Structure 1
Amino acid sequence: MKGKKWTALALTLPLAASLSTGVDAETVHKGKAPTADKNGVFYEVYVNSFYDANKDGHGDLKGLTQKLDYLNDGNSHTKNDLQVNGIWMMPVNPSPSYHKYDVTDYYNIDPQYGNLQDFRKLMKEADKRDVKVIMDLVVNHTSSEHPWFQAALKDKNSKYRDYYIWADKNTDLNEKGSWGQQVWHKAPNGEYFYGTFWEGMPDLNYDNPEVRKEMINVGKFWLKQGVDGFRLDAALHIFKGQTPEGAKKNILWWNEFRDAMKKENPNVYLTGEVWDQPEVVAPYYQSLDSLFNFDLAGKIVSSVKAGNDQGIATAAAATDELFKSYNPNKIDGIFLTNHDQNRVMSELSGDVNKAKSAASILLTLPGNPYIYYGEEIGMTGEKPDELIREPFRWYEGNGIGQTSWETPVYNKGGNGVSVEAQTKQKDSLLNHYREMIRVRQQHEELVKGTLQSISVDSKEVVAYSRTYKGKSISVYHNISNQPVKVSVAAKGNLIFASEKGAKKVKNQLVIPANRTVLIK
C-alpha cells in the first residue's frame, strides 16, 4: 500500500465505497442490452505489466484502455488486433502486494492502477468493442492488513472477529493443508488464525452469514461498475474442498453467489479456479459457467513438447462428457499456462513452431480459450512468480507505455519477442495467433461444436472433428518436426492450412511439420 490512510474500519456497502471515492454506483451498462452469448476467446492480463499511461513504470487501467485496440479494435475487417472477445483482469483492488491477491478494500481500485472513474471508462470502451471484461474476485481470504482483520485482532468483541477463523483449545495447530502447507498462523496478539495460502492471507469464515452477505454485496457492486463477470480465485478453498463435506458446502456457497449475481445481471459470466483432477472439478459446474481445465492444459503442453499425441482429444472428450453430466451448458475453460505456472514458451524451450502448434490446438478445441498475456509473442519465464509476470514487450527496446516495475530476467527485448517486431514479420507467432483466432470465429463448428476424436495412423498427429448443427470440420495438427502423411476420408476439401505446403489428394493428407489443417 502506498500510504493509504483508513478513516473507518471498513466500508461495508457499495454506497459507502462510492462516497469514499467520489464516484457513484450507477450502472455502467445502462441502456445497453446485455448479451447471453458467453462463448469467446479471453485474454488474461496482469495490469501492472501491460501498459503504463502515467509514466510511473507500472501498468494501469488507463494504459489498458489505451491498448484495447491491440486486443480488439471493434472492426472485424481489420487484421492488426488479436480480436479476442473478452479480457480477464488479474486483481485490481487495493493491496499491499505486487500481485494484489490479498485485498484491503473490496470496493475500490488500487491507486497504482488508477481509480473507479478509470475502471468505468475501461468498461465503456470495452462495451464499444463488444469485449466482455471479467475481473479476478478474491473472496477466499483478505490481506492481513485489511481493516476487518485489524479490527478483529484488536477487539474480540468486534463484529469482524467472526469474519475470520480462530484456533481454540481443541485445534491441532500442526494441521497441514492439501499440499502439505502450514495453515494455522500466529497473529501479533498471540492467537492463531487459519490461512490456506500464507500468514498474510487470513481465510474468511463463510459459516458466518454476514461474510456471505458482504461478498455478495461486493459482486453486485462491481457488476454495477460495468464488469461482465468474475474469475473466482481459489474456488476450491472457501471450505475444505478436498473433503466431501467441504466440497458440498463450497457448492452451496457458489450457488448462493451465482443466484445473487444473476439477479443483478442475468447474463453474468462466472468462471472458477478449482485446481484439481477433473473428478474434483466437475461438481462445481452445478454453480458456475466455466472452470479451468488444468488436466487438459497439461496434456496439450506435454504432447506438443514431446512431439507426439498423449491423448489430447480423448481427454477433451472425456472431460466434456463428465462436465456436461453436471451442467449441459458448461463452457470449458481451456488454456496453455497461466500466471501461476512456467510460461508455455519456456516449457517448449523457445521453439516458435511448437508454440504455434500449441496455439492452434488451443484455438480449435471446445470451450473458451484463455491466452495469458505475452503468450502470443512468445514471452518466456519460469518461477518464482515475479518472473512469469514480467513486463509485456511492446518494443524491441524502450518506448512509450513500456512498463518497468521490475527489471526483466527473461524478456529483455532485442530478440524479436515484441509486438513491434512480430507485427512486421508475416510468419510471426503473434500473426499466427491473430489468424487462428479469426479462423475460430469464422466457423461456428470451432466455437460451439461437439468434439469427436479421429483415429489416425500417426502418433505425431492430433486429430478430431468439431460438429455443430449437422456440419463438421475435421482438424489435423502435425506436432512433430517432420512432414507427416495420414489417411483421411476421401470426401471433404482442405479449407485452411496454417502455413503453405499442406496437400490433400483423395484420401491422402500431407501435413508439413508443426502445421494445422482443416478439412470440411
Structure 2
Amino acid sequence: MRPTRALCLLTALTWTACATNPSGGEPGGGKPPPGSRAEIEPVAGTEWYRKAVVYEVFVRSFQDSNGDGKGDLPGLISRLDYLNDGNPETHDDLGVDALWLMPVFVSPSYHGYDVVDYERIHPDYGTLQDFERMCEEAHRRGMRVIMDFVVNHSSVQHPWFVESASSPSSPKRDWYIWGPRDAGWKQPWDPFSSSPTWHLKNGAYYYGVFWSGMPDLNMRTPALREEVKRLASLWLARGVDGFRLDAARYLIETGGGAGQYDTAETHAFWKELSAHVRQVKPDAVLVGENWSTTPNIATYYGATGEVPGGDELPLNFNFPLSEQLMAGLNANNAALIASKLVEMGSVYPAGVSDAPMLTNHDMVRSATQLGFNAGRKASAVALLLTLPGTPFLYYGEEVGLANGTTNNDEAKRTPMPWEGTPQGGFTTGTPWFGFAPGHTAGDNVAAQTGVEDSLLSRYRKLIQVRHATEALSRGGLQVLSATTGQATTLAFVRTLGDTQVLVVHNVSDSGASVGPLALPGTTAEVLFADPQVGSLTRAADGWQVSLSGRGTGIWRLQP
C-alpha cells in the first residue's frame, strides 16, 4: 500500500576508483579501501527464494476465463506455462521461479487491500479449490507462490471491526485502536497532509492511517497476534510459500509522529511472526514493504547471528534502488546507481538478500517513467537481472507495458496484453479497465514472441543467464566504476566462492569504453553480450572492453 508521498534519500557514501580509462573516460577498476563495507556480500542462506526471480501478478488484470472482464484464478492457471512450463530444456517461457499474488481475499474494493475475510477467496477470482489447484499447478512447474497478507489494517466491513465498533465492551474492542477524541495524528509520510487518521464511529474515534475504510488493526492485542499466526499457518497449509507484508513499517503505533512508524514493537512482532512461519514451514519467505530510506530498510532484516540472512524479514523491497535505477537511466548517469549500491553495501547486514525491482503496482510503470525509450527499457532489465538478491518483475513489464491514461492507481494495473486485438487476448468480454496505450502496436506477448531482439526475448534470455550462473543470484557485488559525477557506464563484479563474473552496462545511447579494470583472470567466457559489444580483452594493467549504446556484457573471468 503506497503512501501518498514516498520518503527517499540518496546519501554520499562513495569511494573513489583507483584506475582511470587511458582514453580520458570514466574511472574504472580498483577496490574500496581495505576493511570498508562498500561491497555487498554474498547471500548467507540457501533457501529457494535467495536465488529466485519473482513475478508480481494482479489476478484481476492477468487472464479472464469466463468472459466477465475480470481476471481470475482459472485464467491464471491457463497462463502458467507462459511464466514457467516446468521444462528447463525449453526457452519459450519466461522462466520465473515464483509468483507474488496481489490480494485475493474477499474485499469490497477492486484492489483487495481492505480485507473482509482472511479465509476466503474473492468470488471474482474463483474458489478456494481454484486457489489450491493454482498452487498445485505452479508447484508442478517448479514455481512457488507468495500471497499478499495485509495485516496492518482490515476493511471497515470486516466482522472483526463491526463487532469492535458495536460497543466499548465488545470482546474485540481492542483488536482495533479506539480513543475518545481525534488525537490529531498526521499521516506519517506527509506531516502537512490534511487527511484525517482518526475517524468517528458510534461516539468514539478509531485510527485508520490510510483512510476511514481501512481501520488499523491493534497488533498489541495478544489474541489478535495469535489469530494472525493462525491465518499464516492456514494458508501455508493450503499451499502458499510465503507472504508479502503490506505497509510493514506502520504496524504498531506508540503515539503520533515518530510513534506511527518503525517502532521497536513493530520490529518485535515481525520477528515473532517470522519465527512462527519458520517453524511451520522452514523455507517460507516473508517480504516486507518498507517504503523508506536505505539505512532504515536495512533494519528490517533483523539480527543475522542465529538466522542466516536475518531473523526478521528475509526480503525487503528496495524502493530507493528502484528510484535510482529510473533516475540513472533517464539521466544517462550510472553513478547514481553505483552510489546507491555502495550505500547498500555499507549499511545492509552481511549476507542478507535484497529484493530489487523496477516498479510495482503502486508506481508509474517503468516504460512510462523511461519515456517509452526502447534503449532505456533494454538497459533496465539488464540492470535488474544482474543485481544481487531476488528480483521482482511486475506483470507486463517484460513487454514494455505502459501506464494507462488516467491518474488513478487503476492505470498502473491495466489488463495484461497477450495480443494486439481490442480485447487483448485477456477476455472475451469487456475488460474491467481499459488497456494501456501501445498494446495494439507491439507491446504485447504475441507480437514479441519469437522476435530475437524484442524486450520479451531479452527478459527470457537474461533470466536464463541468471539461473545458469549462481554468482549472479547469490553472489556478492563490488562496484568498479564511478559513484560521483557523470558516468555513462556501470561496472561491477559478482563473486561467489572462486567464481567471478564481470558485468558492464552502458546506460547512454553512445558507445563507451571501460577499463582498465584491475581484476584477476587471464581468459573470459562470454555469458551474455549485446550486439556490437566488443571482446573483453586483458592488457598488462587490466581488462578492457568497448560497448555499444545501451549495451550490456557479462563475462565469467577464468584463471
TM, length-normalised to structure 2: 0.82
Shift of 1:486: 2.2
Structure-2 change in CA distance of 1:37 and 1:497 (3 Å): closer
Q: Is the 8 A contact 2:416 2:426 kept in 1?
A: no
Determine the structure 2 residue equivalent to 1:467: 495
Select the residue among 179, 189, 204 that pairs with 1:178: 189
Shift in alpha-carbon separation, 1:283–1:183, aligned structure 2, 3 A:
farther
> Could you tell me how far 1:409 is from its partner in structure 2?
5.7
What secondary structure is seen at the aligned counterpart in 2 of 1:332? strand
Paired position in structure 1 for 2:325: 300
Compared CA separation, residues 491 and 313, structure 1 to 2 (3 A) = farther
Q: Distance in 2 between matches of 1:176 and 1:339?
A: 21
Match of residue 140 from structure 1: 152
SS at 1:218 equivalent = helix
4+ long deviations beyond 4 Å: none
What does residue 459 of structure 2 align with? 433
Match of 1:379 among 397, 401, 404: 401
Determine whether 1:511 maps to 2:559: no
Which deviations, in whole Å up to 9, do the C-alpha atoms of 1:409-433 show, x marking residues without a partner? 6336311000010104221101100
Match for residue 194 of structure 1 among 207, 210, 219: 207
Q: CA deviation at 1:177?
A: 3.1
Alignment of 1:261-340 (within 5 A): 261-286=277-302, 287-324=312-349, 328-340=350-362
The number of residues matched between the two structures is 482
1:188 offset after TM fit, Å? Answer: 4.5
Query: Does the CA-based 8 Å contact 2:417-2:426 persist in structure 1?
Result: no
Q: Give 1:307 shift.
A: 1.1
Check the 8 A contact 1:317/1:451 in 2, yes or no.
no
Q: Secondary structure at the match of 1:113?
A: coil
Q: Residue type matched to 2:216 in 1?
A: D
Compute the displacement of 1:175 (Å). Answer: 4.2
Distance change in 2, residues 1:496/1:263 (3 Å) = closer
What's the counterpart of residue 504 of structure 2?
476
The alpha-carbon distance between structure 1 residues 157 and 390, as it changes in their structure 2 partners (threshold 3 A), is same
The Cα of 1:129 is off from its aligned counterpart by 1.3
Equivalent residue for 2:101, pick from 79, 89, 101: 89
Q: Deviations over 1:468-495 (max 9, x none)?
A: 1111011000111111122234843250
* Aligned match of 1:486: 514
Q: Provide the rounded CA distance (Å) in 2 between the counterparts of 1:502 and 1:274.
A: 38
Partner of 1:81, secondary structure, is coil
CA pair 294-399 structure 1, distance change in 2 beyond 3 A: closer
**Bigger shift: 505-514 or 64-73?**
505-514
Where 1:311 maps in the other structure, the secondary structure is: helix
Contact 2:403 2:436 (8 Å CA) reproduced: yes
RMSD: 2.1
- In the alignment, what sits opposite 1:370? 392
Verify the 8 A CA contact 1:229 1:268 in the aligned structure 2.
Answer: yes
With 293-302 and 411-420 compared, the bigger mean Cα shift is at 411-420
Comparing 443-452 with 402-411, greater Cα deviation is found at 402-411
Structure-2 residue corresponding to 1:502: 533
Aligned mates of 1:174, 1:462 — CA distance in 2: 44
Query: Does the aligned pair in 2 maintain the 1:309–1:459 contact within 8 Å?
Result: yes
CA distance in 2 between partners of 1:313 and 1:174 (Å): 38
What is the SS of the residue equivalent to 1:107? strand
1:243 aligns with 2:267: no
CA deviation after TM superposition for structure 1 residue 80, in Å: 1.0
Amino acid of the structure 2 residue aligned with 1:454: L
Matched, 1:215 2:224: no
Conserved in 1, the CA contact under 8 Å of 2:410 and 2:433? no
Greater RCO (CA < 8 Å, at least 6 residues apart): 2
CA contact under 8 A between 2:415 and 2:435: conserved in structure 1?
no
Q: Distance in 2 between matches of 1:409 and 1:467?
A: 42
Match of 1:450 in 2: 476
Q: Which amino acid aligns with 1:431?
A: S
Q: CA deviation at 1:506?
A: 4.1
Matched, 1:394 2:418: yes
By how many angstroms is 1:183 displaced? Answer: 4.2
User: In terms of mean alpha carbon deviation, does 273-282 or 505-514 score higher?
Assistant: 505-514
2:65–2:72 Cα contact (<8 Å) kept: yes
Aligned residue identity for 2:293 = Q
Deviations 1:31-79 (A, max 9, x none): xxxx932221000110000011122111111111111111100111111
Establish whether residue 229 from structure 1 lines up as the match of residue 257 from structure 2: no
Specify the alignment match of 2:117 in structure 1: 105
Q: Which has the higher helix share?
A: 1
Structure 2: any 5+ residue segments left out of the alignment? 1-45, 303-311
CA 1:459 to 1:399, structure 2 compared with 1: closer, same or farther past 3 Å? closer
Distance 1:94 1:342, change over 3 A: same
- Are the aligned partners of 2:327 and 2:336 in contact in 1 as well (CA < 8 Å)? no
**3-state SS in 1 of match to 2:189:** coil
- Return 226-235 or 410-419, whichever deviates more: 410-419
Instruction: Write the letter of the residue equivalent to 2:347.
Output: L
Say which of 268, 271, 278 aligns to 1:255.
Answer: 271
Whether the 8 Å contact between 1:103 and 1:143 is mirrored in structure 2 is yes
Q: Which runs of 5+ in 1 are unaligned?
A: 1-34
- The letter of the residue matching 2:549 is A
Find the counterpart in structure 2 of residue 16 from structure 1. Answer: none
Matches of 1:458 and 1:149 in 2, distance apart?
A: 54
* Partner AA of 1:256 in structure 2: E
CA contact (8 A) 1:354 1:479 kept: yes
Alpha-carbon distance between aligned partners in 2 of 1:333 and 1:357, rounded to the nearest angstrom: 18
Q: Distance in 2 between matches of 1:256 and 1:186?
A: 30
1:175-226 alpha-carbon deviations (Å, 9 max, x no partner)? 4433234343434424221011111100001111111111111111100100
Secondary structure of 1:452 counterpart: strand
Cα deviation for residue 247 of structure 1 reads 1.8
Q: Does structure 1 retain, via aligned residues, the 8 Å contact 2:315–2:354? A: yes
Segment of structure 1 superposing worse, 375-384 or 87-96 = 375-384
Distance 1:156 1:351 in 2: 57
CA distance in 2, matches of 1:176, 1:471: 47
Q: Percent identity at matched positions?
A: 37
Q: Match of 1:518, SS?
A: strand
SS, match of residue 135 in structure 1: strand
**Letter paired with 1:434:** R
Q: Secondary structure at the match of 1:38?
A: helix
